[in-house]
Amino acid sequence: MTRKRLIAGNWKMHGSFAESRQLVAALRDGVGAEDRALMLLCPPYVYLNAVRDWLQGSNIALGAQDLSDRSGTGAFTGEVSGAMLRDLGCTHVIVGHSERRALYDESDAVVASKFKAAQQAGLIPVLCVGETLEQREAGHTQATVQRQVAAVIDAAGVAAFGKAVIAYEPVWAIGTGRTATPEQAEEVHALIRAMIAERDATIASGLPILYGGSVKGANARSLFAMKDIDGGLVGGASLVATEFLEIFRAGI
């Protein structure tokens, strides 16, 4: 099956209102009606509404970096629900980013709840998984990624992956300039796809699996050439229009 590439930008907690506007304008100029790839921008919550307006009429999609694990409404100060993100025009939401797991203690169970909350709201979750350097050096890469993916399969069922994206992001490659080689990444991507295929081959063959971790214009093409790599989740390089557009063009 040919899977459409997804090139997603995670802005994290970067940029001002004015900088965000400039970035969106430059990206809009560089993205036409592409069949082969979709560009997705995930700005901070507070800029979502403005970015939605700036993206009107473009082919660029909008996503969020996180969401509450609670559905509906309620007394959850500071939380943002999936329904609110849908309301603002988001189609996707990142869940389980390694920074959320490490800095905000998000367990596999919380990540699974967020994944389910996203789908209940009609959003496509971009589920991030990946091992730390210590886990890799101890030979625990496969076990770590399998545990993270299994937690969501157990909670949401394999059918839920018919409307989801997985991003393999080795923690040691995020923001470090140390990218996984295409072969290292492909090995884990193939493992993830096989895990899903064991349960449902059709869902596995349609599932987009992105690579994230120091993706740049210079290395994107060789990563995206691998059989099971369907695009990228890009942090730092997504804040520089020329660089992010080069990555996007590597995907089309």
What is the contact surface with ligand PEP in residues (CB under 6 A)?
10, 12, 169, 174-175, 212-215, 233-237
Task: Give the CB-nearest residue to ligand PEP.
Answer: 235
Q: How far is the CB of 111 from ligand PEP (least distance, A)?
A: 15
Distance between CA atoms of residues 228 and 187, nearest Å: 9
Residue in 196, 140, 194, 187 with CA at minimum distance from that of residue 168: 187
Residue in 121, 119, 125, 116 with CA at minimum distance from that of residue 72: 121
Q: Say which residues have a Cβ less than 8 Å from residue 198's Cβ, sequence separation at least 6.
A: none
Q: How far is the CB of 217 from ligand PEP (least distance, A)?
A: 12
Residue closer to ligand PEP (CB basis): 182 or 213:
213
Q: How far is the CB of 230 from ligand PEP (least distance, A)?
A: 15
Which member of 99, 106, 169, 186 is catalytic? 169
Residue closer to ligand PEP (CB basis): 192 or 203:
192
Residue closer to ligand PEP (CB basis): 13 or 75:
13
Which member of 92, 97, 99, 189 is catalytic? 97
Please answer whether residues 240 and 27 qualify as being in contact, where contact means their C-beta atoms are separated by less than 8 angstroms: no
Q: How far apart are the first and last CA of the chain?
A: 16
Instruction: Provide the 3-class DSSP secondary structure of residue 91.
Output: coil
Is residue 97 part of the annotated active site? The answer reads yes
Residue closer to ligand PEP (CB basis): 10 or 148:
10
Q: How far is the CB of 21 from ligand PEP (least distance, A)?
A: 21
| Rounded (10°) angle between helices 108-120 and 141-156 | 40
Residue closer to ligand PEP (CB basis): 101 or 204:
101
Q: How far is the CB of 84 from ligand PEP (least distance, A)?
A: 23
Q: Say which residues have a Cβ less than 8 Å from residue 8's Cβ, sequence separation at least 6.
A: 39, 40, 41, 42, 63, 92, 94, 126, 167, 210, 231, 232, 233, 234, 238
H helical segments located in the chain? 17-30, 48-54, 82-87, 98-103, 108-120, 133-137, 141-156, 182-197, 201-206, 217-224, 241-250
For residue 25, CA distances in Å to 42, 53, 161 come to 15, 11, 33
Active-site residue set = 97, 169
